[in-house]
A and B are shown apart, each in its own frame.
Chain A
Amino acid sequence: MKRRQLLAGTALALGLASALGTVALADDPLQVGFIYIGPVGDHGWTYTHDQARLAVEEHFGDAVSTTYVESVPYGADAERVMSQMILSGVDMVFATSFGYGPDVNAVAGRFPDVAFEHATGYIQEHPNVSLYNARFYEGRAVIGHIAGRMTETNTVGYIASFPIPEVVMGINSAYLHARAVNPDVNFRVVWVYSWYDPAQEAAAAEALIEQGADILMQHTDSTAPVTVAQDRGILAFGQASDMTAFAPESHLTAILDEWAPYYIERIQARLDGTWEAGNVWHGIGDGMVGFAPLNERIPADVREEAEGMIEAIAAGEYHPFTGPINRQDGTPWLEEGETAPDGDLLGMGFYVEGMTGDVPN
């Protein structure tokens, strides 16, 4: 009688324990959660992160299971989504927009055993918060070069999102490299104050074309600008993902966000038990910044120059911000041969010499 009770009790305890998930099985997959600021179908920023998530699933198979929530606003919503993910067993969180910083750190403080990877952020208040970002200005240097060589009206239209260092540094990088091969080039910048607003981006593209631009660049996420370029028969560069399908004739190339290598590396580290918080800013050389196939319309010599530049940047032989470079007001910024310190770039609030217009303030 007693023995049977004991057995029943043990069985019950075991059942309870497994029901509550406290019995960890060795072959339980590592659960990784992603939160996205936009919809996975934006063909821009969020799309590239989700492609990387799919690459993670492909790479690890049964060892890792991933989950995501799209269009999560900053603040209480992000905090809640991450908390609920962790309560459901997620052990590693990728928060893929800079505005999640305070939320990631708040949740990280409450769940010290969970690993957090935060894209493009700057707040690290806890030892389990890691930061990663990409040197997109390296890609902008290359498209700036192509634009400088290919513009016939000497006017490049630039659809910018917000006047923040990331965007200002991209404009400067593209402009410097366009001017290097075409001293008469002129950049016109339209600020749309949004990362993703197809209607406004299209309107900005039209306005820039009216002002004489024959090549468009964008620092926004939708495919609207390249589509307008295609309709109006001018040239354009895509953003974040390969947008060739939306503008087969006009799309010269796109700067690609390649998150998969980093995600795979970090998740592997987590599986191995070697994960530690870090803070990386990776570029072309590390495989975080890439290029969509160069359009046939790019002349052979320009293509060669662009490919050479990509190689030189990847190999660390060339830094897109190498002096002498003056600020717009003529004061010197970088001496001859000096390369820009990361701190200067991450706080960049000024145009370089030759740019017209002001950074809005």
Chain B
Amino acid sequence: MLRLEKRPQPSRAWIWATPLLAVALTMIAGGVLFALLGKDPLAAIRMIFWDPLFSPQYASYSRPQLLVKAAPLILIAVGLAIGFRANIWNIGAEGQYIIGALFAASVALIFFPSGPADVRIFGRVLFSYDVAPARWWLFPAMILAGALGGLLWGLIPAILKTRFNTNEILVSLLLVYVAEKLLAAAAVSWLRNPTGAGFPGSRNLSQFAEAANHELIANTGMHWGVVAAFIAVIFGYVLLQRHMLGFHVRLAGQAPRAARFAGVAPARLVLFCLGISGLLAGLAGMFEVAGPARMISIDFNTGYGFTAIIVAFLGRLHPVGIVLAGLLMALTYIGGELAQFRLGLPSAAIQVFQGMLLFFLLALDMLSNYRIRLAWKEAAP
């Protein structure tokens, strides 16, 4: 007979072994799934995990793309992890990501040079001038706007929780749908590209030099969002491991009563956790809209805010773990696309595959909290 025995403390070894084991189990179960779909499981697994990194045909293109795909995931997940550590559940990073992008794009487009203008007197051109002097401060202003947008959207569930004791899980999640409607409205009205033939979507920010978030070094995938993600990881590490506030966060999560005795103000902690995760999600939206996504469109948000929840847990709510988890998740996206058009796997199969990763991880978490004992004899009743 197998028997579960609660460990007095979670096993440190298992905490770090379970993600690896979850990846291995996902590969096995995914392989079975692919085989059932009539595809060669080994080829599919190799295409997802190996080819984007090492195949001479794709690697030089795919490796930089890993950074592009992982950066927003890592940036958002670091913020979420801080809250999750304190048992404060921001499920609405997707909405904060959207609002950050909307704020940033709005700032950029206010200053869009709409071409040289003429100053006329009595119909005759007196002189022409260009309304676009180089504005070095525009990009930093967009960063601030993106952070502010995400922060404000994150603070709504925080204030409602501290004031009216609403559930931040529900409020932050529902605000995603509000943000999506705002995004759609912006794309078809106030941010719509005036030269876009009436189509929804804003101007192309990649064609607006001062606002564009281009690659910093060509063909490396490095853009400012990647830099920001690394800074956020360091910030998150220092905060959680080295700072008093981080200690309070962890204490509040593990022992709320003890935290209260230690002088942790729960309301301030809620505001901080939801605010910081909103801010980072807003930043991710800003770097995305000015960089890889190029513009606001109706479907600008592609699920980074939700996928980042998986990344945060897969990375054990630890900033360094999140970097690895973000890169792994990005790999399954990029390799998953290869498997789709090379082997004809449906995109749903790739999504199931990604979902398995979280499923196995959560299931295996039992091993870090419980010990499995073999009991040969039933205890006498």
Contacts and interface: CB of A to CB of B under 8 A. Distances in A.
A83 to B, nearest CB: 6
A346 B197 CA distance: 7
Contacts of B197: 122, 165, 346-347
A316 B302 CA distance: 42
Interface stretch (B107-115, B158-166, B272-280, B339-347): B339-347
B355 interface: no
Interface string A5-39: 00000000000000000000000000001000101
B188 A164 contact: yes
Interface string A67-87: 111110111110111011101
Interface residues of B, number: 42
B318 interface: no
B337 A84 contact: yes
B57 A87 contact: yes
B32 to A, nearest CB: 22
A349 interface: yes
A193 B291 CA distance: 25
A349 B68 CA distance: 37
Interface residues of A, number: 39
Given A87-B58, A122-B199, A347-B197, A76 B344 contact: no
Contact of A99 (B185, B201, B288): B201
B292 interface: yes
B364 interface: no
A78 to B, nearest CB: 10
From A67, A102, A194, name the one whose CB has the most chain B CB atoms within 10 angstroms: A102
Contact of B347 (A71, A79, A361): A71
B359 interface: no
Contacts of B291: 76
Contact of B199 (A71, A79, A164): A164
B25 to A, nearest CB: 26
Interface in A169-209: 193-194
A88 B335 CA distance: 13
Nearest to A81: B337
A320 B290 CA distance: 41
Interface stretch (B14-22, B293-301, B307-315): B293-301
A102 B294 contact: yes
Interface of B: 57-58, 61-62, 65, 68-69, 181, 184-185, 188-189, 196-201, 204, 206, 288, 291-295, 297-300, 302, 333-334, 337-338, 340-342, 344, 346-348
